[in-house]
Amino acid sequence: MDVFHIYTWSTAAWSAIQAAPLVVAPNMIIQLLSPEVKEVSILETYFSRSLGFSLLIVGLLTLSLSGALPLTSGVSSFTEAADQKAPYATATLMLTLAYHASAAFYMWTMYASYGSTGFIIGMIGSATLATAAMWCLMFGNDSHMSKRTGADKRTSNFPFKNAEAEKNKAGKRGL
């Protein structure tokens, strides 16, 4: 499993971890976040559960659009899904990067304002996933790898000599 699929499964897991308390016990979450003790309204409970379900759907969409989950039925689909490049993988990666970066920034500002430990824990989780997404964007693209040799096609001989390229050139000239 490559880093991109680990990132997408981690994003789905992080969304599920955040969604579970919102779906299961929204009243408890609202009471914990409220500065004063008050009765929880039905509207607050509704919005908490809606946010929880939305986070679950975002996690599932991330998995399905990135190609981590096969969209066909069958036992061999999981091995075939790993071999195929999903058409929306890069777009999903960029959108989840924007989500994790903005969530981390927002949690950092909330921590700076209120000093709650929960905000810093959430910020660390989102910032870690945003960093992983940035790494996948910069280094996770395999399009420059040769299918025949597995070598990087972007190599040059500056500032060092590229002995492999010269061997290939010499072999082609000799033919």
pLDDT given at position 99? 96
Distance in angstroms (rounded) separating the CA atoms of residues 88 and 97: 14
- The string of pLDDT tens digits covering residues 50-69 is 999 999 999 999 999 888 88
Q: Is residue 153 part of a domain?
A: no
Beta carbons within 8 Å of 97's beta carbon, 6+ residues apart:
130, 133, 134, 137
In DSSP notation, 73-86 reads -STTHHHHHHHSPP
Q: Is residue 136 part of a domain?
A: yes
Q: Which residue segment(s) compose the domain that 49 sits in?
A: 3-71+86-140
pLDDT given at position 61? 93
| Structural domains of the chain, count | 1
| Residue type, position 76, single letter | S
Q: Return the higher-pLDDT residue of 30 and 105.
A: 105
Q: For residue 160, is pLDDT > 70?
A: no
> Do residues 104 and 127 make contact, with C-beta atoms less than 8 angstroms apart?
yes
What's this model's pTM, rounded to 2 decimal places?
A: 0.73
Q: Is residue 162 part of a domain?
A: no
